[in-house]
Amino acid sequence: MANDHIWRQIEQLLAGAAKRVILVAPFIKKEVFRAALDAIPRSVTEIQCVTRWSVAEVAAGVSDPEIAEIAEADGRPTILLCHNLHAKLYLADDRCLVGSANLTGRATGRVLGSNVELLLEAGAAHSEVQRVLDAIGATSVPASSDLARQIREQADLLRADEDAPRVLIVGQGPTRARWLPETRNPERLHRVYSGRYRNIGSDVLAGVLRDLAHLDVPPGLPEQAFGKAVLDCLRSMPEIRQLFDVGTLNLDDAKRELAVSGACTEEQAQRAVETIAQWLNYFDEVHLVPVGPWEIRQGREIT
């Protein structure tokens, strides 16, 4: 192998396990995951793997949701998804390794062109190790082969789209461009997110997938929780913060703010504020007031 010092650390740790193993890494490639399972004695049946699946990251090739199928075939591991995961931690009984290395070929040195990584040994009872494991336990959700297939299908569609956002990974690619809602039918978002898009045209579907990639909502949420996550993203947009601060927003002001910021042309700004208004009307209790300069106001319209 190439510079596989990191992999030899992980392999040695896993080979010495007697009762339980926990693998924690945001990015996991299937070849390395399979090798990790092979390193764990068959007598060890308590294996937990914690990772994250983002459509944009899978499309970028840094992570493989197919580890769910490998886990299912092996019969021992359970896979949990933690969307805000950044920690890398490998635990076997009372020992663990913590540091920077994901379970990927380049991170572990199992392929040429390996990364510069670090793993240090710590006791499993260390307070910081327990803090991370507790945080994972409080926020993670179970993965499934069905969800893995759904993520892969959407990632393949996104990768084929030349206008799709490119995920930013250290040392790779440009920064992500400024996002403005694209799809004019916000009710389609959860349908596509849930894998129900067979009757949506390819051009429309591409726009919805781009919106979902930028929103980066955790996978597997029910519709109500999904809507709340989308609304949180909308609330973070500076052009519409006034709506949530004072309860009303002049659409001309929002359009002017977009145009001045350089985010888009004046024509694009007009379409953008109309689309934002539709999203807010769908995901929040707001209504349009077409008197003088159009306004969005919080609360349902009294008729």
Beta strand 119-123 with 88-92 is unpaired
- Rounded Cα gap, residues 50 and 103, in angstroms: 11
**What residues have CB less than 8 Å from 293, skipping those under 6 apart?**
250, 251, 252
CA distances from 216 to 121, 159, 163, 165, 233 (A): 33, 15, 16, 11, 9
Q: Which stretch, 24-28, 155-159, 239-243, has highest mean pLDDT?
A: 24-28
Confidence of residue 164 (pLDDT cuts 50, 70, 90): low
Q: Which amino acid is at 267?
A: E
**What residues have CB less than 8 Å from 255, skipping those under 6 apart?**
266, 269, 270, 272, 273
For residue 171, pLDDT beyond 50: no
Beta pairing partners, 88: 99
**Residue pair 164/213 in contact by the 8 Å Cβ criterion:** yes
Please report the domains of the chain, with CATH numbers, ordered by start residue.
5-148 (3.30.870.10), 178-298 (no CATH)
Tokens of 254: 């929002």
For residue 40, pLDDT beyond 80: yes
- Rounded Cα gap, residues 233 and 140, in angstroms: 20
Model pTM greater than 0.75?
A: yes
Condensed to tens digits (0 to 9), the pLDDT of residues 104-139 reads 999 999 998 889 999 999 999 999 999 999 999 999
